[in-house]
Amino acid sequence: MEIAVARGDGIGPEIMEAVLSVFDAAGVPLSYHDVEMGKEVYERGLTAGMTEETREVVEGCGVLFKGPLETPTGKGAKSVNVTARKLWSTYANKRVFKTLPGVDTLWSKAGLKTDITMLRENIEDTYGAIEHLQTHDVAQCRRFITRPGSLQLHRTAFEIARRKGARRVTCGHKANIMKLTDGLFLETFYEVARDYPELRSDDLIVDNLAMALASRPQEFDVVVLPNLQGDILSDLCAALVGGLGYAPSANLGEHICVFEAVHGTAPDIAGKGLANPTALLLSGCMMLRHVGLARSAARIEAAVGPALRALSRPLDLGVPAPRPSTADFTRAFIDNLPPEADFAHLVDDPDNRLHIPPVLQPQRMMSTPKLHAETCGGADLFVESTESAEAVSRRIKPLLDDQLRLTMISNRGTQVWPLASRFTECVNHYRVRIEARPGVGDLSGSQLLTLAASIDPVIRVCSMEMLMSVGENRGFSLAQGQ
């Protein structure tokens, strides 16, 4: 079986060479197709960070094994790491945090063993990176949480929990504040949980979850989170097991999967032979299991603990050992590979893989059945003004016909008209809520766009959002204080 390999930037080539050497010593039945991604590609003027040939090879293999990649700063280039995840719809970022022998942490010294699998949504949330400058003082980022994307992630989380033999799946969220976006993420979590009654399903607000993970890591099995929150808490979990150097990662999609270490390129030690390849090796073992090479993965994983214990021993009493080199790690992993006979009960079967090879198809539209009528009851206009909210209301009211009314003005999410505090500090960006009068019914998009066009000459309109309702449920947030 052939997989695509991107050796990476910084320490990437060193640790990838170390891992592939261990694979060769273990007789892993894979062949490798090297592809170009990262810094050198950017420097050739390709802002995507990858070549078209790379895209074709990865889409042909269905599996990419990659070292850390660098995204240049200040050149308008998007992160190739994020691009790869989103381009190939690897919707679930799986990270495993497990106490390892020979890696001492505050928690392991206290006798607390960690074995947490974190599933982070990998495509949506603020990682859509859809940003706009609304005024010279105000930047906006759009955050997307979708029902199909959330259902897809949660189903994967519960399936992984079932295969792991976990007892608990926990959803982290901020639905107490972001009631529509995180609210949808939480709602779909419990929708999927109904199909897995043997598993305990619960949820924690993300700040409470952060404290609980740091103080009681042994209580958690599988944790599922939106993209940004998962990014932050996965680094917290890495600290529980010794740092990012021991945190393997997989980006799982239905057709293409990307396996990588969580850490960066570490340019300060690049080329010095000092990089720790453990995280990439463990990521590689996740990849081996995914493509049906369970025996190879188990044999290599069995070498990790003894190797790390050997590398952590002092050379002489009272004299700490020098920092192991990349070559030291490689030799230790190879020297501690157990006999193949010990794993005869396991079978390498690439035809029985978790991963399904990619099939060429049109871009898929994901949607769920529409169960309730959608209606539009108005619009939020975002306008630029340094005047008071009262002055803004006086400008807009005369422009409304007898079907519409001005119901609220907010600034930075806090209501400043009609009820307000004199101590609320404002910026030059108001949300002006215009709604249909009682009895008017559904408003058309063209009607509201015409309204925005009539207001813009009087007060600049930066953007607009329709006020949608789904059935009896309001599809827009209230302002603080409203």
Q: For this structure, is 370 an active site residue?
A: no
Q: For this structure, is 174 an active site residue?
A: yes
Quick one: tokens of 337? 């590979």
Active-site residue (options: 9, 125, 174, 182): 174
Query: Which residues have a Cβ under 8 Å from the Cβ of 395 and sit 6 or more positions away?
Result: 387, 458, 459
Q: Please return the burial class of 60, using the count of CB atoms within 10 Å of its CB with bins 0-12, 13-18 and 19+.
A: middle
Distance CA 171, CA 185 (A): 9
Q: For this structure, is 231 an active site residue?
A: yes
Active-site residue (options: 32, 179, 196, 235): 235
Active-site residue (options: 24, 34, 207, 442): 207
Distance CA 118, CA 65 (A): 20
Q: What phi and psi, each to the nearest 5 degrees, are found at residue 65?
A: -110, 120
Distance CA 59, CA 53 (A): 10
**Which H, E and C letters describe the chain, residue by residue?**
CEEEEECCCCCHHHHHHHHHHHHHHCCCCCEEEECCECHHHHHCCCCCCECHHHHHHHHHHCEEEECCCCCCCCCCCCCHHHHHHHHCCCCEEEEEEECCCCCCCHHHHCCCCCEEEEEEECCCEEEEEEEEEEECCEEEEEEECCHHHHHHHHHHHHHHHHHHCCCEEEEEECCCCCCCHHHHHHHHHHHHHCCCCCCEEEEEEHHHHHHHHHHCHHHCCEEEECHHHHHHHHHHHHHHCCCHHHCEEEEECCCCEEEEECCCCCCCCCCCCCCCCHHHHHHHHHHHHHCCEHHHHHHHHHHHHHHHHHHHCCCECCECCCCCCHHHHHHHHHHCCCCHHHHCCCCECHHHCCCCCCCCCCCCCCCCCCCCCEEEEEEEEEECCCCCHHHHHHHHHHHCCCCEEEEEEEECCEEEECCCCCCCCCCCCEEEEEEECCCCCCCCHHHHHHHHHHHCCCCCEEEEEEEEEECCEECCCCCECC
Angle at 191 between CA 185 and CA 195, to 5 degrees: 135
Active-site residue (options: 182, 203, 231, 348): 231
Active-site residue (options: 127, 203, 328, 380): 127
Query: Which residues have a Cβ under 8 Å from the Cβ of 329 and sit 6 or more positions away?
Result: 18, 276, 277, 278, 307, 311
Q: Catalogue the active-site residues.
A: 127, 174, 207, 231, 235
